[in-house]
Amino acid sequence: MVETILSALAPIVFTLLLGFVAAWRHDFGPKEASVLNRMVLWFNLLSRFLNGCRVPLETTDKIGTGTSPLENRTP
């Protein structure tokens, strides 16, 4: 559980630290920083968070022998 949370949050913290260091070094002006912040928030952070919180389709701790809930349907 802790590994899942850390694997979801580590890329976010790393990305924010890179932005902080770039701003501290004055690598970007206000206009570029606004565009970069928008890009990071909408694309990078959201996709990394969702990818870190996903649940695999097939797990090893299954109940029964079927691989699909539709496979063993009884009419």
Distance CA 11, CA 45 (A): 8
**H-only helix segments in 25-73:** 30-39, 46-52
Whether 42 shows a pLDDT value over 70: the answer reads yes
pTM: 0.45
* 9 contact partners, CB below 8 Å, separation of at least 6: 52
Q: What is the pLDDT of residues 30-40, one digit of tens each?
A: 888 788 778 77
CA distances from residue 12 to 7, 33, 37, 72 in whole angstroms, order as listed: 9, 17, 13, 41
